[in-house]
């Protein structure tokens, strides 16, 4: 298992958070921790990748960025799913919340489906809808996959959320959808997202 | 974390699936699809290009630029090859950026630098061809003479403009990798694609631009289309057999077939047969499985040296993994850090570029490959100050591939346990297990003591660490608390926790295969094989066993790719000659 990860203590449901590409993994994890529902939180770091331009190494992502290529690289996506499954075994925790943002959301949907013995709930925030069909076929071959909250966290997230819901339904995997519809900046969006996740995890978010 | 017995073995189920995906249709020895039923029309192009990285797409651009029609066949499910995972730098002599900025790159000195780096065992500045075989020398002169010309042509065509300088952290053009007196122009040869008008594009951007150029002509880049054979008629290559996953079909090439299909780093059998030392497949894309090496012999192709590669180091536990970028240990981060072998002895300046560090794994002495594994050892301070620079985990994070213990004795014991357990299991095929020498702990303590004294004095008497511009460029800005004379060194604190990461010798890819001529023609015993061309890592590399500077992989691939594409296209009756 060659992922590096933060292992943050806490009281509540154990959680693994897969960050959005090229952003701070900790910021994404804080959204989950601010729900007040999750406890121990494992935050792995994706592969280093080149930024879309320039030679700076430091972007973190779960699967390959291919400028101008429709979709993404399905091999690297499958690899990311396997890596996260490895992490779930290494962490040796069951009944966990597997949350992901952006690319991490796509990977969370794959790993959560494949390891329902470890994962009891999947929170997928802003997955790239076009990447969902590229998940390994095993993702869709599971009969007892954990429930999924599909969230759109940005003001323009509704169309993508609808597409993702449609994609999942097409694979026989219905999900609860939630989209931020408020005003304000990223802070307000994060706060409302945390509230929605808390309500969903505690069974009080209307379907 | 220690892995528990998993209730569901996803590796057995999904891991095989990943291998299948990675191998689809990559895997050496993979069965071919049945031959297509006869009767259908046979597609015909002026040039068929095999592969879709920098060399292949440059060949396509060259052929299109002179009026040819082109088909690009890529066996991977996505295009771009290793180029698309890379920084996209091309090492070009007397290039457009240098000319525009008044950087003189005189021919005699440039040739001497290339010759010394590429053929260090033969280089003789007094000899007529600098001591090199005439053919090898001719390729180097061609590369100097035509590199900038070809790049200029790609820009004029609107394919890609390779004129953005590759810069180091201090804003200066990145220096070449060897600090030889022959080098009259040590900065400015590394250039990247100009993106969005002014920015420097990486390898993905380079591929995007070249694909966009090809598609502008209606050229298809067919992914998951594996070329499985050559069609040869009376000694001339007239086409290929393509397996698209459902059937094998012949595709004719009126002018020629250009391979830009990568080396054989990810074919364990070819690796073990040809390479001189145990190395793992490394950080190129897994489709680098030596297709040309397997196909070319039946055309009578003459092979060059087969033991050359672009060397680097990777973390043992990440060996042969499928990474999102060329995930080698690009630079070894840290100043209170050193690297030792199983005897506890340093073997190389830790701040050298990846090529020199990679080559140290090939050393054979005392009846063994003494540096098969190297241990990167650092202290709490480097973990804190350099955390987040791969492979050191980000601050606060941990990684199972990092061995952690208190003090030198503790680290030695922890390493011994790792080597007899998880590391032994992680050793790739073809690489024997490694154990620490009995004297490892005491020797490591002495090594650190000596290193610390040299750090305080500011002079590395053993490896001159920190004296070369390239080391400063790879290291990055000095740590804020390091006010020593040599900021690339700092004493290790052995009183607290020590960390170790296991590194194994690896490649970006190999660069061995059939020999080529000055237009990228693949050579047989009696001269060029009509209709067969190659560029990049699938053929005998222009730079021999050396790596003159950043972009030494992509540069020759692009230059000889364009020349091959042009030459092949002009062999077609449809395409006018010059």
Show the tokens assigned to A138. Answer: 């095993």
How many of the other CB atoms lie within 10 Å of CB of B359? 20
Mean pLDDT of chain A: 87
| Confidence check: pLDDT of B6 > 60 | no
CA B265, B165, B203 angle in degrees (round to 5)?
35
Q: Report the Cα A37 to chain-centroid distance in Å.
A: 17
> What average pLDDT does range B529-548 have in this prediction?
97
How many angstroms away from the CA of B90 is the closest CA of chain A?
A: 13
> What pLDDT, in 10s, does the model give residues B325-372?
777 898 999 999 999 999 999 999 999 999 999 999 999 998 999 999
* Residue count (chain A): 207
Is the model more confident about B283 or about B251?
B251
Residue B404 CA to residue B402 CA, distance in Å, equals 6
Structure confidence at residue B508 as a pLDDT band (50, 70, 90): very high
Cβ-Cβ contacts under 8 Å for B490 (sequence gap 6 or more): B335, B336, B381, B382, B455, B479, B482, B484
Cβ atoms of A155 and A180 closer than 8 Å: yes
Is the model more confident about A122 or about B272?
A122
Cβ of A1 within 8 Å of Cβ of B1? The answer is yes
Structure confidence at residue B185 as a pLDDT band (50, 70, 90): very high
Structure confidence at residue B3 as a pLDDT band (50, 70, 90): very low
> What average pLDDT does range B423-447 have in this prediction?
90
Q: For the purposes of burial, counting CB atoms within 10 Å of the CB of B223, is it exposed (0-12), middle (13-18) or buried (19 or more)?
A: middle
Q: What chain A residue is nearest to B87 in terms of C-alpha separation? A: A55
Residue A76 CA to residue A71 CA, distance in Å, equals 12
pTM of the model: 0.94
How many angstroms away from the CA of B3 is the closest CA of chain A?
A: 4
Show the tokens assigned to B30. Answer: 């993979």
> What average pLDDT does range B554-571 have in this prediction?
98
Cβ of B14 within 8 Å of Cβ of A81? The answer is yes
CA dihedral B116, B358, B193, B102 (to 10 degrees): -40
Is the model more confident about B330 or about B511?
B511
Cβ of A46 within 8 Å of Cβ of B199? The answer is no
- What is the pLDDT, as a whole number, of residue B349? 97
- What is the pLDDT, as a whole number, of residue B148? 98
- What is the pLDDT, as a whole number, of residue B18? 63
| Confidence check: pLDDT of A131 > 80 | yes
Q: DSSP class of residue B301?
A: B
State the first-to-last Cα distance of chain A, in angstroms, to the nearest integer. 37
> What average pLDDT does range B461-480 have in this prediction?
96
Give strand pairing partners of B502.
B375
Which ipTM value was assigned to this complex?
Answer: 0.89
Restricting to B residues 196-225, those with a Cβ less than 8 Å away from any Cβ of A are 196, 199-205, 207-208, 211-212
| Confidence check: pLDDT of A57 > 60 | no
Hey, where are the domains in chain A? 5-201
SS3 of residue B46 by DSSP:
strand
B57: Cα within 13 Å, side-chain hemisphere? 31
Residue B24 CA to residue B226 CA, distance in Å, equals 9
> What pLDDT, in 10s, does the model give residues B75-127?
988 899 999 988 899 999 999 999 999 999 999 999 999 999 999 999 999 99
> What average pLDDT does range B401-411 have in this prediction?
97
Is the model more confident about B428 or about B183?
B183
- Secondary structure of B447-475 in HEC code, one letter for each residue: HHHHHHHHHHHCCCCCCCCCCCHHHHHHH
Closest in A49, A53, A117 to B201, CB measured? A53
Quick one: which of B412, B127, B177 has its CA closest to B310?
A: B177
How many angstroms away from the CA of A88 is the closest CA of chain B?
A: 9
Residues B208, B214, B216, B220: is their CA dihedral positive or negative?
negative
Is the model more confident about A205 or about A58?
A205
Cβ of B205 within 8 Å of Cβ of A82? The answer is no
| Confidence check: pLDDT of A196 > 50 | yes
How many of the other CB atoms lie within 10 Å of CB of B371? 27
Residue B469 CA to residue B173 CA, distance in Å, equals 11
| Confidence check: pLDDT of A65 > 90 | no
Q: Which CATH number does the domain A5-201 belong to among 3.30.590.20, 3.40.50.1820, 3.40.50.300, 3.40.1390.20?
A: 3.40.50.1820
Show the tokens assigned to B199. Answer: 């920015």
Q: What chain A residue is nearest to B501 in terms of C-alpha separation? A: A2
Cβ of B13 within 8 Å of Cβ of A138? The answer is yes
Residue A124 CA to residue A100 CA, distance in Å, equals 5
Cβ of B79 within 8 Å of Cβ of A69? The answer is yes
- Which residue's structure tokens are 């397997």? B294
B239: phi then psi, degrees, rounded to nearest 5: 170, -170
Cβ atoms of B267 and B290 closer than 8 Å: yes
Long-range contacts, stretch B399-402, CB < 8 angstroms, 24+ apart: B399/A2, B399/A3, B399/A4, B399/A5, B400/A1, B400/A2, B400/A90, B400/B1, B400/B317, B401/A2, B401/B315, B401/B316, B401/B317, B401/B318, B401/B501, B401/B502, B402/A4, B402/B499, B402/B500, B402/B501
CB of B190 within 8 Å of a chain A CB? The answer is: no
* A to B CB pairs, distance under 8 Å: 169
CB of B322 within 8 Å of a chain A CB? The answer is: yes
Chain B residues whose beta carbon lies within 8 Å of the beta carbon of residue A76: 322-324
Cβ atoms of A71 and A40 closer than 8 Å: no
Residue A29 CA to residue B282 CA, distance in Å, equals 32
Rounded percentage of chain B residues whose pLDDT exceeds 70 = 94
């Amino acid at each position: 298992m060659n992922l590096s990860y933060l292992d943050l203590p806490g009281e509540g449901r154990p959680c693994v958070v897969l960050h959005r590409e090229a952003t701070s993994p900790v910021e994404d994890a804080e959204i989950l921790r601010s729900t007040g529902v999750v406890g121990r939180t494992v935050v792995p770091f994706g592969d280093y990748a080149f930024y879309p331009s320039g030679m700076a190494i430091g972007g973190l992502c779960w699967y390959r960025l291919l400028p101008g290529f429709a979709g993404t690289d399905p091999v690297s996506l499958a690899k990311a799913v396997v890596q996260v499954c490895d992490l779930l075994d290494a962490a040796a925790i069951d009944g966990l919340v597997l949350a992901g943002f952006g690319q991490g959301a796509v990977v969370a949907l794959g790993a959560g489906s494949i390891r329902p013995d470890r994962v009891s709930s999947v929170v997928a925030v802003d997955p790239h809808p076009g990447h969902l069909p590229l998940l390994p076929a095993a993702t869709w071959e599971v009969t007892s996959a954990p429930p999924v909250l599909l969230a759109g966290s940005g003001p323009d997230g509704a169309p993508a959320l609808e597409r993702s819901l449609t994609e999942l339904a097409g694979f026989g995997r219905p999900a609860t959808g939630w989209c931020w519809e408020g005003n304000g900046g990223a802070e307000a969006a994060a706060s409302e997202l945390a509230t929605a996740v808390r309500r969903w995890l505690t069974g009080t978010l209307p379907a | 974390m220690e892995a528990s017995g998993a209730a569901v073995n996803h590796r057995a189920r999904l891991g095989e699936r990943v291998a299948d995906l990675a191998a689809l249709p990559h895997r050496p020895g993979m069965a071919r699809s049945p031959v297509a039923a006869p009767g259908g029309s046979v597609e015909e192009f002026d040039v068929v290009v095999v592969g879709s990285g920098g060399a292949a797409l440059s060949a396509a651009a060259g052929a299109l630029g002179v009026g040819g029609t082109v088909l690009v066949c890529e066996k991977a499910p996505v295009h771009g090859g290793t180029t698309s995972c890379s920084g996209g730098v091309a090492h070009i002599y007397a290039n457009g950026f240098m000319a525009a900025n008044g950087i003189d790159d005189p021919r005699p000195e440039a040739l001497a630098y290339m010759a010394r780096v590429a053929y260090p065992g033969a280089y003789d500045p007094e000899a007529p061809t600098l001591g090199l075989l005439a053919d090898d020398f001719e390729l180097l002169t061609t590369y100097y003479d035509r590199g900038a010309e070809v790049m200029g042509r790609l820009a004029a065509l609107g394919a890609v403009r390779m004129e953005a300088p590759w810069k180091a952290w201090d804003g200066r053009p990145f220096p070449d990798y060897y600090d030889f007196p022959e080098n009259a122009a040590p900065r400015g040869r590394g250039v990247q694609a100009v993106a969005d008008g002014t920015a420097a594009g990486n390898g993905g951007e380079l591929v995007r631009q070249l694909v966009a150029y090809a598609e502008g002509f209606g050229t298809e880049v067919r992914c998951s289309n594996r070329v499985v054979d050559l069609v040869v008629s009376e000694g001339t290559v007239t086409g290929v057999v393509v397996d698209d996953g459902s059937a094998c079909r012949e595709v004719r090439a009126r002018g020629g077939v250009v391979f830009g299909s990568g080396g054989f780093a990810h074919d364990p059998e070819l690796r073990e047969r040809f390479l001189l030392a145990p190395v793992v497949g490394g950080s190129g894309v897994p489709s680098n499985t030596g297709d040309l090496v397997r196909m070319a012999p039946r055309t009578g192709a003459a092979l060059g040296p087969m033991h050359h590669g672009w060397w680097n180091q990777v973390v043992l536990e990440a060996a042969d993994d499928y990474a999102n970028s060329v995930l080698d240990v690009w630079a070894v981060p840290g100043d209170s850090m050193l690297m030792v072998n199983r005897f506890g002895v340093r073997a190389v300046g830790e701040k050298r570029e990846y090529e020199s560090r990679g080559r140290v794994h090939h050393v054979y002495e005392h009846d063994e490959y003494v540096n098969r594994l190297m241990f990167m050892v650092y202290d709490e301070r480097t973990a804190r100050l350099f955390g987040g620079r791969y492979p050191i985990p980000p601050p606060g994070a941990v990684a199972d591939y990092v061995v952690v213990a208190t003090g030198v004795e503790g680290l030695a014991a922890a390493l011994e346990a790792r080597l007899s357990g998880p590391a032994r299991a992680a050793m790739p095929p073809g690489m024997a297990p490694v154990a620490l020498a009995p004297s490892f702990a005491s020797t490591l303590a002495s090594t650190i003591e000596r290193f610390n004294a040299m750090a305080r004095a500011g002079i590395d008497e053993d490896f001159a660490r920190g004296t070369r511009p390239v080391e400063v460029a790879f290291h990055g800005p000095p740590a804020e608390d390091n006010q020593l004379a040599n900021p690339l060194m700092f004493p290790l604190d052995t009183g607290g926790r020590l960390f170790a990461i296991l590194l194994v010798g690896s490649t970006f890819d190999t660069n061995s295969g059939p020999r080529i001529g000055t237009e990228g023609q693949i050579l047989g015993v009696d001269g060029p094989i009509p209709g067969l061309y190659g560029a990049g890592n699938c053929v005998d590399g222009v730079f021999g066993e050396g790596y003159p500077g950043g972009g030494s992989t992509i540069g020759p691939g692009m230059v000889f790719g364009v020349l091959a594409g042009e030459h092949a296209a002009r062999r077609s009756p449809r395409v006018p000659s010059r």
